[in-house]
Each structure stands twice: as C-alpha cells, then as structure tokens.
Amino acid sequence: MLDHSASPRLPRPSRRLVLGSAAGSALLTTAAAVPGVQQAAAADRTARRRRAAPLLEGAALPSDAQAAAAIRAEYLHGWYGYTAKAWGYDELRPLSGGHNDFFADGHSFGLSIVEALDTLYLMGCDDELAQARSWVESNLDPTQDVDIHVFEAIIRLVGGLIAGHLTTGSAALLSLAQEFADRLLPAFTSSPTGIPYTHVNLRTGQAQGSQVALAEAGTNVMEFGLLSQLVGDSRYYDAAMRAYRAVLSRASSLSLLGTTIDAETGRWVDHTSTAPNPPVDSFYEYLWGGGQLLGDSQLTSWYQDFTRPILTHQSDVRGGRLWFHGVDASTGRRTGPTHQSELAAFYAGLLAKGGDLTHAASYFRSWSAAMDRYPVLPETIDYTDFSIVDQGSQLRPEYANSAFDLWRITGAASYKEAAWRWFENVRTHLRVAGGYTVADHVTSSSVRHGDLTPGYWFAENFKYVWLVFSHTPRFDYRSGILSTEGKVLAGAK
C-alpha cells in the first residue's frame, strides 16, 4: 500500500503532445525570424537528398500495404507480450516477465490497456479491443485511496477513456472518464490561483504539490474541454482555462514563460524558458491543439503570441541546423547548456501544424541528423557535437510523431521514409522476445536493454507510423486530432 506520509512519487518527464490537426490559421512567422535558417534551406534540401539514399540501400522502402502489415504485427507482438505477463497491471517488464505500477506502488489502473484502446481500434484489432474494453469497463477503479499525478492521469487515463469512448461508442468508458475527472478536479478548484496542484488523492480529494512544471499547469484543456462538450458540464473546461489564464497573465515583458510556478502564490520558482524541452513542452502544444479541437480562437491566438518569442529569443542555428536553447524569461539572456531532449522532437510537428513549415522542416532535419549517428535516439544530446548527455532511450515516440505530422501536412515522401527508418531502427534494437523495451545505454554502435514497456508505447509509437502507411478508413486524415498521448480526440470513423 502507498505510504501517505512519504513524498509523492516523482513523475517521468512530461512529454510533448501530439495533436494531429492539419495546419489551420497560419502562424505569421517567417524564416527571417531565425538567422541562418532561410540561407541554409537549399543546402539542407541537398543534404537531405544525400541522406535519403542510404535509407533505401539494401532494401527498398516497402509498399504501404507491406509496411502497414509489418507495423501492425509488431504492435501485436508488444500487446501479446503484455497480455501474457502483465494483464491488468499498469506496465510490462518484458525481460523479467514482471510488471510495474506507474502511479504508485501497490496500485494499478491497467494503464497499458487504457492506453491501447484507440490504437487497437485504428489497427482493426477488434478481438483484442473487445477484450481490452471489457477489462476496463469491469475492473478499472477510480476510487482508490491513492495520491495520483494529475498531469499523467489526465493525458493517460481521462484521455484514454475518452478516446476509447469515441472509437467504440461505449457509454461506460465515458462515464469512467468523467468520474476520474471529477476526482482530479480538486487539484484545480482548491488552488488559490487555479493552477493545479501536482497530486490529488482520488478518494479524499486532498491535493498537494504546489511547485508545478509549466507543462503540468497547462496540459489539460484538450481532454477537459472535450469532456465538457461530451457530457454538457463546463466545469472541466472552465478549470483548464482558469489555469491557462493564471499562467499566461504572469508572462514576462518578452512574452516568455518560466519553467516552474507556485500554484499557491503564482510566483515563478524557475524563471528559465526551456521550450520546447521538458518540462514545459506540452503547455504550448495544447494551446494549438485546444484551439483546433474546441474551436477556441483564444487558445489559437495564445499559441501564436507565445510561439513567436520562442523563435525570436531561443533559436540557435548551428551548422545550418535549428536547435533551441534556454533563456532567462525576463531578459532573454542565454542560460544553461546546449542540451536538447528527445522529447522536444515533437516541436517540428507542432510548428508545422501552426503554419510554420520552414522552421518545422529545419528542426526535423536537425533530429534526423542526430538519428543518423545512433541506433536509436538517446534521451538527451549536446546539439553542438551530437554527443550523448543521457545515455538511456525510453522508447520515445516524438520523432515519429513529427514525421507523421509533417507527412500529413506536406505529403512529402522524405517524411514517410524517415518514419520507416525510425520504425526499422526501433524494431531492430528494442524488440525482445517479450515485446518491446527501453534501453539503459545507447552508444553510436550498440544498445543495452532495460526492462520496461512504458504504457505510452501502446498509445503512441507505432500508431504514428501505422497512420502514415495504412491509409486506414477508421481515421479522418484531414480533420483528425491527437492528444499529447496520441489519443484520437477527433477524427475516429
């Protein structure tokens, strides 16, 4: 059982969201905003053509049907690994055959099952979906006496249940989503500023954790706003918007935001703007995604207003490649090392969806250059020389997410090729007999396996590449929208 006298369990770093809408109202930002990007564009295109050739040497890019079949088979390999050894638990440990409690030791929510619902639907795995839906409807318990991480619960559990409802029509899944949201809501309503506390007890409603990372303050409007629309109750949307206003009203004179804010005082704990790196990443993504999903022009306007300063003050072009460095939010003065988290790779897709294809393509090429150097992308690199800062690799989906977004918007074959290369690298280096696993150590030539299949693997990784190659009739490629956790919040057919 959870020891409530102990400090709350620290969450994994926040992860960028993956909205999926095509670019709507364009972000009025030009390549001139970042010196060096426009000048390097022609050279980048030439370099990309040179890099694309090795992707196809030895084995041509398969047909779309062949690629989709391979992706689906690998997803089911991971799914059956989970069902065989960890059914009903949060996450699988595929090497040992054990399981992991994600939110708190001794408490399970069948997280991987909830994460998988809409992916199983999109892939046409209807028998597996029926089994998963039955377990969730019969066994998922939102009343557990446990302190739960609010950010993760919203994007994973509430979002997963809503996506499950939208893809299956299950009223029970929607009811569970609303019950979870009701039990998470005190984190918002008991806060004097409206910025949500980081943790809340599902049974008692007691909230705690006043120092809030930026992503955790704002990554909720998509799930909460859509829930309000589905059930006709504005409380969820209102709470999310109050949190956004509380943070944005405390922006610096440069329209930059810090990294951590105190939910009780509204004061910044850390004044550094680290976008698009964690732990601020998805805060900006939900401004764009919320605007598109909910038809909320205020959110879209905020996205534009708070993206321009990031491009102006934080862009760092090295060797024709676009990266982003941290700055003091008040002065714009550069701070910190030249590190980039793989979690930030989502930003290429977000920029594209916001209408800025020039910077989107440039940032994607930067990450493609990093991928050229390693079997799988490490967690963190120094972008000046591509050296590894954090040598793990946590089965992250961000690069594939951006490849999907850019392919969907542009139709360019290079993004399809990049998605396939990413899939093949993951299949080659992170596949094990029991499914797929994280890596504890990555070098330029080797990978040492860890022992965990994160729940988000079932929601995100292979979903993106499946959507690139499958042309599934179950998803509306023009209007479909995905959350940060890859959940289909619009466009299921």
pLDDT for 207-245, tens place per residue?
999 999 999 999 999 999 999 999 999 999 999 999 999
The rounded mean pLDDT for the chain is: 91
Q: What's the average model confidence in pLDDT over 58-74?
A: 90
Question: What's the confidence (pLDDT) of residue 326?
Answer: 98
User: Taking the CA atoms of the chain, what radius of gyration do you get in angstroms?
Assistant: 21
In a domain, residue 24? The reply is no
DSSP label at 11? Answer: P
CB-based contact 183:205 (threshold 8 Å)? yes
Does residue 17 belong to any structural domain of this protein? no
- pLDDT (tens digit, 9 = 90+) per residue, 117-135? 999 999 999 999 999 999 9
How many CA atoms lie less than 13 Å away from 371 in the CB half-sphere?
A: 28
What 8-state DSSP symbol labels residue 317?
E
The answer to whether residue 6 is domain-embedded is no
Percentage of residues in the chain having pLDDT higher than 70 = 88
How far apart, in Å, are the Cα atoms of 463 and each of 116, 154, 355? 10, 20, 23
pLDDT bracket for residue 34 (50, 70, 90): low
Which pLDDT does position 60 carry in this prediction? 78
Give residue 36's pLDDT band: very low, low, confident or very high (50, 70, 90): low
Provide the CA 258 distance to its chain's centre, in angstroms. Answer: 20
Structural domain of 92: 32-490
d(CA 132, CA 123): 14
Least confident of 34-38, 144-148, 224-228: 34-38
Residue with the bigger pLDDT between 3 and 286: it is: 286
pLDDT at 162: 99
Please tell me the total number of residues recorded for the chain in this structure.
493
Query: Among residues 234, 420, 317, which one has the least CA distance to residue 34?
Result: 317
1 occurs within a structural domain = no
Exposure of 127 by Cβ count < 10 A (0-12 exposed, 13-18 middle, 19+ buried)?
exposed
Cβ–Cβ under 8 Å, residues 262 and 211: yes
Helix axes 297-314, 235-248, angle to 10 degrees: 30
pLDDT in tens, 420-464: 999 999 999 999 999 999 999 999 999 999 999 999 999 999 999
pLDDT of 386-416, one tens digit each? Answer: 999 999 999 999 999 999 999 999 999 999 9
pLDDT (tens digit, 9 = 90+) per residue, 83-112?
A: 999 999 999 999 999 999 999 999 999 999
Q: Given the structure tokens 């020389």, which residue do they identify?
A: 385
Contacts of 253 (CB under 8 A, 6+ apart): 330
- Strands (E) across 210-341 are located at 211-213, 260-262, 268-270, 272-273, 315-318, 321-324, 327-328, 339-341
Residue 53 in this model has a pLDDT that exceeds 90: no
Is the pLDDT score of 23 beyond 80? no
- Is 7 domain-assigned? no
User: What's the whole-number mean pLDDT along residues 301-321?
Assistant: 97
CATH number of the domain at 457, please.
Answer: 1.50.10.10
Looking at residue 57, what is its pLDDT? Answer: 41
20 belongs to a structural domain: no
Q: 258: burial class by Cβ within 10 Å (0-12, 13-18, 19+)?
A: buried
Alpha carbons 217 and 280: distance in angstroms, whole number: 9
Residue 15 within any structural domain of the chain: no
Q: Is residue 39 part of a domain?
A: yes
Number of domains making up the chain? 1
DSSP letters of 215-237?
HHHHTTHHHHHHHHHHHT-THHH
Residue 433 CB coordination number (10 Å): 8
Q: What is the mean pLDDT of residues 309-318?
A: 98
Token representation of residue 407 = 């392919």
